[in-house]
Amino acid sequence: MFKGGGQLAVHRLACALSAKGHQVHALYSKYPNEQFDVEVPYHIHWAKHHNFATVNLNIFSYLKVLGPLAKKEKFNIIHGNAEEAYFIGEIARENGAAYIFTSHTPNIPVNGMLKGIVNPIKFLKSINTYLLRQAIIEADQIVAFSQFSRQLILKGVGNTYTNKVKIIPPGVENSWFKVERKPSSTKRILFWGRLEDEKGLPEIIYAMKKVSKIFKDMTLTLIGEGSRLEQYKASVANFGLKGQVEFTGWLSNCEIQKLVAQSNLGLFPSRIESFGLSVVEAMAAGLPIVTASGGAIPENVKDGVTGMLVPINNTDALTKAIISALENPQRAESLAKAAKMEVQKKFIWDKTADSVINLYQSAL
């Protein structure tokens, strides 16, 4: 049901707030023919999902549902994320609610729509980021997941918003800490997240071409979906890796964790990350990781201490790190053990929920 880190973060925060006795309503989008039968400790509402590439039309379907809902429920707080929150500022003002925005994206324009439209072609290609920027600047308080994300937000909206942007990292679901790993005797490598260039998929596939020549029993499982999926499948076929690389689509946490338990290495060479949830989940499960130093990743991964960091867009360094991790499993497992202990201290949803509640109270 939950696709991508943004929706999962919303779900987990809603669960954590509900556990503390707060009444929570969450609004998600889905296609008209999609049916979900899930039990959650909060109220779910559905907006129509529009799969339109140029502009996120979900801003209108969210408006259609949230407007009447806010009047009915008389919310104290309305908390949005992504460009779907475009109309939330207006809805919150009409209903006397405080408006909080959480930014998940690294792409925020430095100018508003009026200046952006001066270059109409570029504007139309990136209109969603302008919708996002407007959603951010109308918020009473803004949440960033990391110091890196906070700096990107301020770069986009200006330093006049400095006092409004607070860092509250997300937590990790408890089930990740309970994964009991029994790595396969073969070399099993795992990735989960959006299948896009910014997640380092081209680097992964290129590195696998070299790694597979050294480790004949190597297998790579790529979990997720994305706009370039067919191109990645074609690259895998061109490199002669079809028998060693598997594309699964989105899987549930439980399904991913079963694969984590059997795997030797997690691979996350993102070029840019506002937080890097998959990386932290892998660390929580005690899975050795190789990741790139993109965005916020170095805030959570210490090279040679809790994982292996390589420069972004560097397939040679990535290949060497993968080979090193597979050739030295004891060292890799030692780093993973240290990483798990670190995550247990820093990224707990109960702690995140307390920080969010404090922010809500200050906004009210």
CATH of domain 4-171+348-363: 3.40.50.2000
355: Cβ–Cβ under 8 A, 6 or more apart, which residues? 168
Most confident of 27-36, 119-128, 274-283: 274-283
Residue among 142, 159, 155, 164 at smallest CA distance from 109: 155
Query: How confident is the model at residue 94, as a pLDDT?
Result: 97
Token pair 């809805």: residue: 91
Residue 17: which H helix or E strand, with range? helix 4-19
Please provide the size of the chain in residues: 364
- What's the start-to-end Cα distance of the chain, in Å? 32
DSSP string over 266-277: EEE--S--SS-H
* Three-state DSSP state, 149: helix
Supply 8's token pair: 């999962």
Q: What are the tens digits of pLDDT across the range 342-358? A: 999 999 999 999 999 99
Residue 6 has pLDDT above 90, yes or no: no
Q: What are the tens digits of pLDDT across the range 67-115? A: 999 999 999 999 998 899 999 999 999 999 999 999 987 778 888 877 7
Contacts of residues 339-345 at CB distance under 8 Å and 24 or more positions apart, as own/partner, are 339/283, 339/286, 339/289, 339/301, 339/306, 339/307, 340/177, 340/283, 340/284, 340/285, 340/286, 342/283, 342/306, 343/172, 343/177, 343/280, 343/283, 343/284, 344/177, 344/284
Domains 4-171+348-363 and 174-346 share a fold: yes
Query: How confident is the model at residue 259, as a pLDDT?
Result: 98
Q: Where are the domains of the chain?
A: 4-171+348-363, 174-346
Q: Is 25 left (phi over 0), alpha (psi -120 to 50) or beta?
A: beta
Q: What are the tens digits of pLDDT across the range 190-240? A: 999 999 999 999 999 999 999 999 999 999 999 999 989 999 999 999 999
Query: How confident is the model at residue 108, as a pLDDT?
Result: 87
Residue type, 279: V
Task: Please give the torsion angle defined by the CA atoms of residues 297, 178, 331 and 301, in that order, rounded to the nearest 10 degrees.
Answer: 10
Q: What are the tens digits of pLDDT across the range 21-74? A: 999 999 999 988 888 877 899 999 999 998 877 788 999 999 999 999 999 999
The band of 3, judged by pLDDT with boundaries at 50, 70 and 90, is low
Distance separating alpha carbons of residues 297 and 272, to the nearest angstrom: 8
Residue 312 has pLDDT above 70, yes or no: yes
Residue 2 has pLDDT above 70, yes or no: no
Token pair 């952006």: residue: 116
Mean pLDDT of 298-303: 97
Query: How confident is the model at residue 291, as a pLDDT?
Result: 98
Distance separating alpha carbons of residues 168 and 146, to the nearest angstrom: 7
Supply 363's token pair: 């906004």
69 within 8 A of 114, measured Cβ to Cβ: no
SS3 string, 34-50, reads CCCCCCCCCEEEEEECC
101 within 8 A of 359, measured Cβ to Cβ: no
89 within 8 A of 99, measured Cβ to Cβ: yes
The domain at 174-346 falls in which architecture?
Answer: 3-Layer(aba) Sandwich (3.40)
Query: How confident is the model at residue 15, as a pLDDT?
Result: 95
Distance separating alpha carbons of residues 6 and 17, to the nearest angstrom: 17
18: Cβ–Cβ under 8 A, 6 or more apart, which residues? 24, 41, 42
Strands 188-192 and 265-268: parallel
Percent of the chain with pLDDT over 90: 82
List 190's β-bridge partners, or say none. Answer: 221, 266
Supply 280's token pair: 């932290």
* Three-state DSSP state, 19: helix
The band of 4, judged by pLDDT with boundaries at 50, 70 and 90, is low
Residue type, 139: A
Q: What are phi and psi of 263, to 5 degrees?
A: -95, 160
